[in-house]
Each structure stands twice: as C-alpha cells, then as structure tokens.
Amino acid sequence: MSVLQIGEKTLQSRLLLGTGKYRTPEEQVEAVEASGTGVLTFAVRRIPLDNAREETFQGLDLARYEMLPNTAGADTAEEALRTARLAREAGLCDMIKVEVIGCSETLLPDPVETIKATRMLVEDGFTVLTYTSDDVVLAKRVQEAGCHAVMPAAAPIGSGLGIVNPYNLKQIIAQAQVPVIVDAGIGTPSHAAQAMEMGADGVLLNSAVAGAGDPEKMAEAMKAAVTAGRLAFESGPIPPRDTAFASSPQTGVSRPS
C-alpha cells in the first residue's frame, strides 16, 4: 500500500486517530498501538499545554507519532489562528487541523470563517488540514485557500452514521487536488472501508474507537478496514453490473448432445 503524503509530511498509516474520550489512559495506549496510526489528533483547548505530554498522552511515546492538534472551540478564523499558534509555541506541532464550528446543534463548520482560517494558517507556515462538511464547493474553496488536505465529514461528528451522502463525497474525492481525509461520523469498520474504496486517502477516527466496548479490538479492526479499502481502491475493482456475467469461459466448452 502506498504512503500518504500531506504537504511535506510522509505518513506510513492512512488511519489518523483521535485522543481523548477513552475511559482510562491504559485503554488509550492499547488502542493507539493496535491502530498502527502515525498521527494523533487532539483539541488544543482541552489539554494543559504546559504539561500535555504527561497528562493527555500518558504512556505514549510521542516520538513515534506526528501530532495533529485541532482548533475545536474556535468560532472565528482569528481564534483558530491563535489556538494553532499556542500549540506551535508549546512544541506540539507545525501541522494543524482547522475546525471552526458555525452551528452548535449540528457541529457543522462555518464556511466563511473556515476558508478565512485556512488562508491565514497557510500564510503563517502551518501544514493545514481543513475540516469541512460534505459540501463539494466548500471543499474546492478551502483548497483554493491553500490547504494541504481537505477533511469532509461523512456524517455529523460523533454520530457513527457512516457516509450519509456518498454522491457528494465521491465528487469531493474526484475533484480534489490534495489528499482527502474522511473525518467525523465513521462508526464501524465497514464505513471506513467504504470511504477508502471510494478513493479517500485516509480516515480520521475518535469516537468509534474510544467509545467501543473494547477500544483495542475496534482499533485493530479499523486498521484492517482502512488497509483493505485502500488496497481494493488501488487494485482497480471490477465495475458493478445489473446482470449476471458467468465467471467460467463461454467458448470452447463442450455441450451435451
């Protein structure tokens, strides 16, 4: 399976994993290791920046991972920029996930502020991954603003519904000029595999793993699903047909008289 390139970052795993929500630090460590991820994501506003490595990532060897803080909690582009700069000053990143929520009920992003934040963060030297809805035009606009990856939601954050609008997601993937990381709404390994089979470059998960009865097993299942889905996409699967098509040869076969 090919590696994932985001800006100047080369990632060996196409599964990005969130931190937080785990019941114990031990469960988090077990799930992270089982997932095989190379990227850990977290909300900057929810961690103590002066002691993040000891408190938030207890038991994890952070030298093994790329850190992907996000700007969750930001209502404006300026707040997102300030949050990202705090994470960078704390030595946690030069890569950032832009998240500017515009609706507290649906947790959908504010399109105007998201585009603005993307542009500002790119100009400030960050490797920028931008969270969007499954809006095809918004995905295009954040790419025009310079993002290094676009992260459309499969479904509302934390819902576990899977891909609710496959048509839009297919269009985002088909038109993308940067990697597409499906973010939010994935609930099961089959959802993750579906996204990868459609041509997504990666999947970001948190709730589906952290909230599972056995996070370690779910993380391992998600790892297998992402790998299987990507290999299926790269292999060039056969096109679907509306009618049967025999797998045995139809010529040169003896027929009963």
Q: Quote the CA–CA distance of 118 and 99 in Å, as a whole number.
A: 9
Give the strand pairing for 9-11 and 4-6: antiparallel
Residue 117 marked ligand-binding? no
The C-alpha angle 196, 202, 214, rounded to 5 degrees, equals 85
Catalytic residue among 21, 97, 217, 223: 97
Q: Quote the CA–CA distance of 223 and 203 in Å, as a whole number.
A: 10
Residue 207 marked ligand-binding? yes
Residue 187 marked ligand-binding? no
Q: How many Cα atoms within 13 Å fall on the side-chain side of residue 176?
A: 26
Residue 184 marked ligand-binding? yes
CB 128 within 8 A of CB 98: yes
CB 218 within 8 A of CB 209: yes
Q: Examine the residue annotation and report whether 223 is marked as an active-site residue of this protein.
A: no
Binding residues: 158, 184-185, 206-207
Binding residues for 1-deoxy-D-xylulose 5-phosphate: 158, 184-185, 206-207
- Which residues are part of the catalytic machinery? 97
